[in-house]
Amino acid sequence: MYRSLTALGIVLLASAPAMADELNLYSARHYDTDLRIYENFTNETGIQINLIEGSGEQLMERILTEGDNSPADLYITVDGGRLHRAVEAGIFQPVESAVLDARIPANFRHPDNLWFGLSARARVIFTRTGERPDWLNDYEDLADPRLEGEICIRSSGNVYNVSLMAEMIEVMGAEAAQDWAAGINTNLARAPQGGDRDQLRALAAGECSVAVSNTYYWGALAASENPDDVAVANAVEFFYPNQDGRGAHVNISGAGVAVNAPNHDNAVRFLEYLVSDEAQAIFADSNNEFPIVPGVEIHGPVAPFTEFKNSGVNVSVYGLNAAQATEIFDRVGFP
């Protein structure tokens, strides 16, 4: 889908308009509130945004198919593993920007400035409200035999779990990470099924006593207009693991300037706008995520939970270790 955004609304276009001040944005984020960011940027700069939406994989394939003549200026997707695949495919070009370097913590940008984090989400441990065991504090504790038959979590093929395992390989080493995965496999309450919201619903219903989920899924339930969703959010609570050690695992939405960007300067200018306080708050609030830029005020259910220690592991590791993470899951029989 190709959309040209203006303050007057959204117009469907068959192809990109020929304009001097434009930006062709390929985005795998599909939140209507993000449109406010695009409109605000256009109002502030006069640069028209032409939006193409799709899944991360679809958009990456489109850019590759378009080749040297691709109109893509900026590619936005979610998860460090997907960003890494775009790097491997040669989709991005390095960007030098003092604004981006100053605003974005080093672990949330590519070491060679090929992509930059825009919003963050933590993958954390949930229990039923008031029922967290006093010994359950770290990711490593998920493999404790005391949790046999008690854990709800998505399948090993889920990109968020692959990224978590990739970080565990980085901080523990492959052998210890394999033992950890085997322990969690033993502790599953049921065969993995559904998404993160389904793990939280199962936890609230008593199908397990511990669940693993991204924080923003809890935020979506808490902010829902469906009373059943709100009841689930109230029935469970989360904590950030490893706060006395390395810190919690955090993943991101991120973006990079396309290698053949016809509007390079506009793309960099837009990236810099996306890390402004105004855009960061909208970006985070649109999906109950956290700002990449420290200290930005947000609203909604997750707003009281912005202060925590993250592991500091560079998100690029999630892609670099992804294949090994998948191999370990397969080796221990993790569904």
The reply to whether 2-120+251-301 and 122-248+318-331 are identical in fold is yes
Q: Please state the separation of Cα 101 from the chain's center in Å.
A: 20
Cβ–Cβ < 8 Å for 59, 26: yes
> For the chain, which residues make up each domain, given as ranges?
2-120+251-301, 122-248+318-331
Cβ–Cβ < 8 Å for 36, 274: no
pLDDT digits (tens, 9 = 90+) for 23-61: 999 999 887 888 999 999 999 999 999 999 999 999 999
CATH numeric code, 122-248+318-331: 3.40.190.10
Yes or no: domain 2-120+251-301 corresponds to CATH 3.40.190.10: yes
Percent of the chain with pLDDT over 70: 94
Q: Work out the burial of residue 1: count CB atoms within 10 Å of its CB; fewer than 13 is exposed, 13-18 middle, 19 or more buried.
A: exposed
Cβ–Cβ < 8 Å for 208, 150: yes
Mean pLDDT of 2-30: 60
pLDDT digits (tens, 9 = 90+) for 148-176: 999 999 999 999 999 999 999 999 999 99
CB atoms within 10 A of CB 112: 11
Packing angle between helix 174-186 and helix 322-331, nearest 10 degrees? 50
